[in-house]
Chain A
Amino acid sequence: MSSKKVKVTDMSNNKGQLTELNPADFLPLPPPYDKLELEPKMKPLTPDQKQRYECDLDGIAAVMIPRPKSDEEKKILVDKFLSGLTKLFNKEDNWTFIQALLLTMEYCAKCQTCSTACPIFEESGGKEIYRPSYRADIMRRLYKKYIKPGGKVFTKLTGDDIDVNWEMIARLAELTYRCTLCRRCAQTCPIGADNGLVTHELRKIFSQEMGIAVKQLHEVGSVQHIQKGSSTGMTPLAFKDNVEFMEDEVKERTGMDFKWPIDKVGADVLLLHNAGEFLAWPENPEAFAIILEAAGISYTLSSDLLGYDGVNYGLWYDDVQLARVALKHIETAKKLGVRKIVLGECGHSHKALTVIADRILTGDYNIPRESSLTLLADIVKSGRLKLDKSRNEDIYVTLHDPCNVVRLMGIVKPQREILRAIAPKFREMTPHGVENYCCGGGSGFAIMPNTNFPDWRHSVAGRKKLRQVLDVFQDVIGPEHKKYVCAPCSNCKGQIRELFSAYGVFERCNILYGGLVELIVNAMTDIEKPFLEWDWH
């Protein structure tokens, strides 16, 4: 079947894989990746995987839903899905988003403007199933058929009918993990409908009603976070060990010998990092510690359960888990009596705790939350750090705007003020700011390693970001020029790491990625050696 012509109603067919993915269909990349042979291979699923997991959408099994063994099992799953659908439109079960969801269900004009904004649809070469409105149209048909009074009759008359069977629901489950919730589509919609929200709400049916979620988001994500204190599995004790290790490393790299404040009651600030940083990019929390120490900020880290891991995966798929984690974060801050919580370089934890959880934080749970970018910009502008931008002179720097911080929180300027002060060769991608493109790792993608999903994430979801990076450095693309993608977000870094490695970007083009604080410390004159270790990546 030609994937270009796939229709919404095809979702219910039982003809196997709906869309074929072929790298030759994807939009060609700029040099040096303008040759198909440099395109990473997309691994097909093994026959065993195909037989075990639902993958009839596009041959990818991101969620790894086991195939039901019998028709009865299928029927139970279909009924569960429909019962979850009803709850999504019930005020008590879904007060959190029902108003926004209903507006999107009722008023879409099917103009397809949103499709022009979606990097996944565009970069895939226009695969119908990835169109923002494709997913939404399925949801809308379900809403019209099962939720609106008389829906079963009216949808036949209007032409909005859709057959509901397990094939359709299994494909839909996968399809909710082909959208990064970047909400670029919503930005262009003339009605204000929000197809990113549709993805979010559909994921909730699967998780909150059916108990179906990606393992890394739920079981070893938010559940492990609540159980052990961190979605990385790091316990409070291990966290303290990590801090000691990082203290030593700072001493070694900079000569600065100081203790990091942990559980300091009465500090002004609780600094909440994404715990993934301690393991994957310790130089980031180290740079934070160096800057805050040098600037004389009264702050503390916490070793409380959840208090040292600011992630909140519930944001992507489950409101209850979101609320649980957010409340724990606030409780940590309450216990320490801090004036405010400052979020480290992690986009989704910024948005989860500052914006999304805002309204559930009532009474004394309403402790102010602030972005580290805002605080850092203030520190840099205040002159409290001795900075010399020429120390970054040999590096061409561009900035990746994490969707959660920029499009979804409106923090645009602080990071740019900092870069202008410390990076003489800073240049902007096109487009940037609130019109940025997602790194391709949003909504949990960056931590989803299942089957062949990473291949899809590199070649399709991350393609736009790779294109933007190559474009912005095109005049200096050769490996003789040092280039740096500043991505002040842990998840974005995770995605960029994998994306760059899949395409060999560091080796071929000498483009490094990293956070913002590392560049700031690299410009600090008190530190002798360069803080950025170029050859380590």
Chain B
Amino acid sequence: MGALQYFFYLSVAVLLLGLLYKAIKIARMPIHLRWDLYPIPHEKGKGHYGGSYFEELDWWTKPLKVSLVSEVKEMSKEILLIQSLFHHNRFLWLSSFPFHFGLYLLVGFLFFLLLGAILNLSGIVIGVSSESAVGVAVHYLTLLSGLAGAALGTLGAIGLILSRVFKGELRRFSVKADFFNLALLLAVFATLLISLVTVDRDGAIHRALAGNLITLKPTGEMPSPIPLELFLAGFFFLYLPFTHMTHFIGKYFTYHKVRWEDHPNLKGSKIEKAVTEYLGYKLSWAAPHIKAGSTWAEAATDTSPVTGEEKKK
């Protein structure tokens, strides 16, 4: 196995561990105070106009009505179509949508490559002339997702770079790293596109590469620009966990754990248990109205720093 192949394995390992680490780190943070933002789509019968259970008289005596279907519908529209950009920033959506949709298609491309490689190993030929219908389908799906994904991604990345260069409000807030990130992705998309329209028009080299990678066999000689493509993809995987481009993880939490997190704190609930622990945390804020070193429970009940009276025992 060559250095490039080791590098690629390392990258994938860093990517997976990095994403896992990030997700766990956010998930394990203390439950914050409620910070709901309406509309919350899972409010059954109310989500469409932004209503909540607070509209019900004596809401705490009634079962909370949750509609997962509405939530999933809303999430799908946001993830697949990026509807918030579509509604509020159409100009950027024109680049961002193909860019992201291209990425999704490339995740599909990877999936079909791996599926094809596994089917190959079990004796099913993948290609137009395969006797197996599955083999033919996988062939076309691989090519379609790869070509469409790389093309849309390339267009989207170019659009995003141009927007950042020429649109003042974007340029003023863009730093070197933002341009580097986009340029890196553009390079990944473009090399893939070039290899799929030049040296690997039926996707067989990519499939063989995927097969070798998962069975830990040397990748052997590959025509240009596939080694470059492998290097760029590896570099991207290695780099991704350290950037804000992992916002697909962040977005899960911002939506589900902040905006749409409307669980009331009911007696005996998990929330209550967790908060009871947090109230024992010590605070070190230095302003005169807070006694440093007291716990949250003490600080909240002891108003002596503002009244000048000692706390009643």
Q: Give the B-binding residues of A (Cβ under 8 A).
A: 5, 7-8, 80, 83-84, 87, 90-93, 95-100, 102-104, 106-113, 115-117, 128, 131, 133, 137, 157-160, 183, 186-194, 197, 207-211, 218, 222-223, 226-227, 318-321, 323-324, 327, 340, 354-363, 366, 368, 370-371, 374-375, 378, 406-414, 433-435
Contact = CB atoms under 8 A, between A and B. Distances in A.
Contact of A158 (B54, B88, B175): B175
Contacts of A113: 84-85, 88-89, 92
Interface stretch (B142-150, B232-240, B271-279): B271-279
21 contacts: A8-B172, A92-B284, A97-B35, A99-B26, A100-B35, A103-B254, A107-B247, A109-B244, A188-B87, A189-B84, A192-B253, A194-B37, A223-B306, A354-B54, A355-B36, A360-B275, A362-B265, A374-B56, A378-B57, A410-B50, A411-B55
Given A116-B89, A433-B49, A359 B275 contact: yes
A359 B55 contact: no
B288 interface: yes
A7 B282 CA distance: 38
B241 to A, nearest CB: 12
Contacts of A359: 31, 33-34, 265, 271-272, 275
B54 A371 contact: yes
Contacts of A434: 38-39, 49-50
B285 A107 contact: no
Given A87-B284, A117-B88, A362-B276, 14 more contacts: A92-B283, A95-B32, A98-B32, A110-B178, A111-B92, A112-B89, A190-B82, A191-B251, A194-B254, A324-B300, A360-B275, A410-B262, A414-B55, A435-B50
A183 B52 contact: no
A8 B289 CA distance: 32
Interface string B250-274: 1101110111001011110001100
B279 to A, nearest CB: 7
Contacts of A83: 286
7 smallest CB-CB distances across A and B, nearest first, come from A410-B52, A192-B254, A159-B175, A434-B50, A107-B250, A158-B177, A323-B300
A378 B307 CA distance: 40
A188 B299 CA distance: 36
B231 to A, nearest CB: 21
Contact of A102 (B26, B40, B55, B169): B26
B290 interface: yes
Interface of B: 26, 29-40, 43, 46, 49-60, 78, 82, 84-85, 87-89, 92, 96, 168-170, 172-178, 244, 246-247, 250-251, 253-255, 257-259, 262, 264-267, 271-272, 275-276, 278-279, 281-290, 296, 299-301, 303, 306-307
B55 A413 contact: yes
Given A92-B283, A413-B49, A159 B176 contact: yes
B36 A409 contact: yes
Contacts of B33: 96-97, 319, 356-360
A112 B58 contact: no
Contacts of B173: 8, 110, 112, 133, 137
A412 B49 CA distance: 8
Given A183-B37, A192-B250, A363-B267, A226 B92 contact: no
A266 to B, nearest CB: 18
A31 B182 CA distance: 46
Contact of B51 (A356, A366, A412): A412
B84 to A, nearest CB: 4
B286 A111 contact: no
Contacts of A117: 88
A23 to B, nearest CB: 23
A406 B37 CA distance: 9
B84 A190 contact: yes
Given A95-B30, A226-B307, A363-B267, A110 B170 contact: yes
B232 to A, nearest CB: 20
B300 A360 contact: yes
A222 B289 CA distance: 11
A115 B169 contact: yes
A102 B175 CA distance: 20
Contacts of B265: 358-359, 361-362, 366
A407 B37 contact: yes
B34 A356 contact: yes
Nearest to A414: B55
B89 A433 contact: no
A109 B247 contact: yes
Contacts of A159: 175-177
A411 B174 CA distance: 38
Nearest to B86: A190
A81 B284 CA distance: 14
A370 B54 CA distance: 7
A142 to B, nearest CB: 14
Contact of A412 (B55, B278, B281): B55
Contact of B29 (A102, A189, A357): A102
B166 to A, nearest CB: 14
